[in-house]
Amino acid sequence: NSEVVDTDVLIVGSGPAGSSAALFLSTLGVDNIMITKYRWTANTPRAHITNQRTMEIFRDVGIEAQVLAEATPHEMIGDTVFCTSIAGDEIGRILAWGNHPSRHADYELASPSLNCDIPQTYLEPILVKNATMRGTQTEFSTEYLSHTQDGTGVSVRVLHRVTGREYTIRAKYLIGADGARSKVASDIDLPMEGEMDIAGSMNITFKTDLTKFVGHRPSVLYWVVQPGSNIGGIGAGLVRMVRPWDEWLIVWGFDISQGAPEVTDEDALQVVRNLIGVPDLEAEITGVSLWGNNEQYAAHLHNGRVFCAGDAVHKHPPSNGLGSNTSIQDSYNLAWKIASVLRGQAGPDLLETYSTERAPVAKQIVTRANQSGREFGALFDALGLKPGQSAEEMNSAIASRKERTPEGARTRTKVREAMELKNYEFNAHGVELGQRYASTAVVPDGREPTSNPRDPELYYQACTDPGVRLPHAWVGNWKEKHSTHDLAPYARFTVLTGTTGAAWEQAAADASQRLGVEIGTVVIGPDREMTDLYFDWDRLRGCAEDGAILVRPDKHIAWRADCLPANPAEQLVTAVSALLSRQ
C-alpha cells in the first residue's frame, strides 16, 4: 500500500550498534525509528566483555549504573585459566582485562570507568529501554526489505512480520545496523575486504553449578587445550561464564570444510562433559548454535544517506571482545554528526568523516581479533601438538611440560612465552583506547604526533593530540570528583583551559553565538569551576595553561591551541567551521 511514515533517522537492527545508535540519537533529541526483525532482542548471550571505552560512553549518556547493576564486575572477570579441562590439569593463568597488579594502574589511570562483563542478552534490553524511553519509536517483528534514496531522503520498504503488512518509512538518513549478514550493506554495495566463514564454531549454552571448580579463580574465560581443541573455531576450546557460576557457554570449533555438523543435545552434553572434565556431569543444555568465523571489513561505510555500523562493516571472531564494543563506538561517532547536520549546524560533508574515521578501526579490529585466534598456535607448538596426532599422542604431548629434564624445562619456557603472547588478546589496552582519528573533523595543529614509548597495542598513551580520545583525569572540588570526560557532555563541544586561559570563556560564548553551535568552556584551576585535584591534568594537557583543548561531543579532541592567541574567538570560529564542514 502507499502508507508512508516519516522520521529523521531510520535504524535497522536492535543489536548493540542499532540500539545504541537509537539511544544516542534520542539523547540528542533526534527523531528516530528503530526496526528489528524479531519480536525481542538477542536470544543468546553472545558478546559480553564491555571495555572501558564503551563504559565511559555509557557513563556519558547516563546508563553506566544500570549496566553495572546487571554486570559481573571487573575484579571477577580476569583470572583467565588455561587447562586441559576445568576439573583437570591447569596449564597456567593470565590475569586479564587489566587485573594484573602491574597493569591495573594503567586501566585505573586511563578512564573513569572500569571494564566489566555483561552478556548481550542483558545489555540490549538496557539500550533498547533507554532509547525508547528517550523518544525512539521501536518496532519489533519488522523487517527491512529494500530502499531507494534521492537528494532529500531514503524511502525504505519494511514488512511487519506479524500482520504481513508492507509499508514505507521515509527518513532523511538510514542506518544499517543489521549484523554480519547485513542486507543494507549489500544493497548499497559496500566494498568488503577479506573473507567470511573461514572456520566453524558451535556455541553450547548450559546450566550447571561449577562453583567448586572456578569460584576460587574467578574469570569469564576458561580455555581448554585437549584433543580436538586445535580444529576450527577461535583458537582453543572455551568455557565462558554467562552468570557466576551456574550459567555457561562453550565455544567449540569444527572443521568447516566438512560442512555444518548435526549437533544433538546428547552431542552437546558430551562436549560439555569433555571440557568440564567430569564424565557424568549433570547439565541442562539450553541451546546449540553454529556460526562461522569471519575476517572481513568494509573499506567504506556509507553510500549517500545510508550508513552501516557494527558487524555489518566488521566481521571477526570474539577474540579480544571487540565486537559489540566497536559496534557501540561506531554509533557514538555517527550519531552526533547526523544530529549536527540535521540541525543545520554542520555541512553534509561532516558525514563523510564517519567512514574516514571508523573504516580504519574496522580494519584494525578485524585483523587484531583474527591474529589473536591464530596466536593460540604458539601454545599448541610449545606443547608439541601437531595436526594428525591421535588423542593419546596429544595428551602425552600436553603432559610433556611436566618432565624433569632439560627438554621439559625448554617446553616450560616456551609455554610461558606462548601465554605471554596472549596479552595481545586479553590486555590489549592500546587497541581499546588508542584510536586516533584523522579526517576533516579534526584540525591538526602542526605538531608531531605524541609517540608511545611502549607497545601501542598493549599500552594506551594519554595525550591531547588532535584526533585522539580526551585523556581522563580526576578534577573537582573538596567534596566532588569528576572525570575530564564528565566536563565534556555528548550534547556540545567543550573547551578545556586553565586559570590564565579564562578569556576562552568569552571567546567560546562568542563563537557559539556566531555559529549557532553549543560550545561550553571549563576552566580548570584552583578556585575555579574545577580544581586539578591531583595535578594530573596539568601533566596531561599538552599545552600551556592558557592554551585550549577543544573536545568533540564524542570525546575526541578536535583542535588544540598551544596558548591564548590575540583573537581566540576568531580561531575557534575558524576551527569549528572547518571541522563541521561548513561552507
| List of residues contacting ligand FDA (CB under 6 A) | 12-18, 35-38, 46-48, 120, 143-144, 177-179, 183, 203, 289, 291, 310-312, 318, 321, 323-324, 327
User: Do 117 and 220 form a contact (C-beta atoms < 8 A)?
Assistant: yes
User: Do 14 and 43 form a contact (C-beta atoms < 8 A)?
Assistant: no
Element (H, E) at 367: helix 352-374
- In whole angstroms, the minimum distance from the beta carbon of 340 to ligand FDA comes to 23
Comparison of 170 and 514: residue with beta carbon closer to ligand FDA: 170
How far apart, in whole angstroms, are the C-alpha atoms of residue 364 and residue 109?
Answer: 24
Comparison of 13 and 525: residue with beta carbon closer to ligand FDA: 13
Cell numbers for 565: 592567541
- In whole angstroms, the minimum distance from the beta carbon of 154 to ligand FDA comes to 15
Side-chain half-sphere exposure of 41, counting CA atoms within 13 A: 23
Cell numbers for 162: 506479524
In terms of Cα–Cα distance, which of 36, 82, 56 is closest to 376? 82
Comparison of 17 and 463: residue with beta carbon closer to ligand FDA: 17
Going by C-beta distance under 8 Å and a sequence separation of 6 or more, which residues neighbour residue 135? 26, 29, 31, 32
How far apart, in whole angstroms, are the C-alpha atoms of residue 23 and residue 129?
Answer: 9
- In whole angstroms, the minimum distance from the beta carbon of 331 to ligand FDA comes to 9
Comparison of 18 and 235: residue with beta carbon closer to ligand FDA: 18
Comparison of 183 and 358: residue with beta carbon closer to ligand FDA: 183
- In whole angstroms, the minimum distance from the beta carbon of 181 to ligand FDA comes to 7
Comparison of 323 and 542: residue with beta carbon closer to ligand FDA: 323
Comparison of 291 and 376: residue with beta carbon closer to ligand FDA: 291
Comparison of 27 and 36: residue with beta carbon closer to ligand FDA: 36
Q: Which residue do the cell numbers 614509548 mark?
A: 453
Comparison of 171 and 572: residue with beta carbon closer to ligand FDA: 171
Helix (DSSP H) and strand (DSSP E) numbers for the chain: 18, 25
Comparison of 270 and 289: residue with beta carbon closer to ligand FDA: 289
How far apart, in whole angstroms, are the C-alpha atoms of residue 555 and residue 60?
Answer: 10
Residue 568 main-chain phi, psi, to 5 deg: -60, -40
- In whole angstroms, the minimum distance from the beta carbon of 260 to ligand FDA comes to 13
Cell numbers for 369: 581479533
Cell numbers for 236: 582453543
User: Do 519 and 494 form a contact (C-beta atoms < 8 A)?
Assistant: yes
- In whole angstroms, the minimum distance from the beta carbon of 318 to ligand FDA comes to 3
- In whole angstroms, the minimum distance from the beta carbon of 366 to ligand FDA comes to 11
Comparison of 271 and 443: residue with beta carbon closer to ligand FDA: 271
Comparison of 41 and 497: residue with beta carbon closer to ligand FDA: 41
Cell numbers for 493: 563541544
- In whole angstroms, the minimum distance from the beta carbon of 414 to ligand FDA comes to 28
User: Do 34 and 136 form a contact (C-beta atoms < 8 A)?
Assistant: yes
How far apart, in whole angstroms, are the C-alpha atoms of residue 197 and residue 218?
Answer: 32
Q: Which residue do the cell numbers 562436549 mark?
A: 271
- In whole angstroms, the minimum distance from the beta carbon of 307 to ligand FDA comes to 12
- In whole angstroms, the minimum distance from the beta carbon of 14 to ligand FDA comes to 4
User: Do 274 and 85 form a contact (C-beta atoms < 8 A)?
Assistant: yes
- In whole angstroms, the minimum distance from the beta carbon of 328 to ligand FDA comes to 8
Q: How far is CA 75 from the centre of its chain?
A: 20
Which residues does residue 576 pair with via DSSP β-bridges, in sequence order? none
How far apart, in whole angstroms, are the C-alpha atoms of residue 375 and residue 377?
Answer: 5
- In whole angstroms, the minimum distance from the beta carbon of 483 to ligand FDA comes to 25
- In whole angstroms, the minimum distance from the beta carbon of 251 to ligand FDA comes to 7
* DSSP annotation of 255: -
How far apart, in whole angstroms, are the C-alpha atoms of residue 509 and residue 517?
Answer: 10
Residue 160 main-chain phi, psi, to 5 deg: -85, 110
How far apart, in whole angstroms, are the C-alpha atoms of residue 523 and residue 501?
Answer: 7
Comparison of 364 and 571: residue with beta carbon closer to ligand FDA: 364
- In whole angstroms, the minimum distance from the beta carbon of 229 to ligand FDA comes to 17
Fill in the amino acid letter for 80: T
Comparison of 46 and 147: residue with beta carbon closer to ligand FDA: 46
CA distances from 331 to 53, 309, 355, 408 (A): 13, 7, 12, 50
In terms of Cα–Cα distance, which of 562, 555, 572 is closest to 507? 572
Residue 436 main-chain phi, psi, to 5 deg: -125, 120
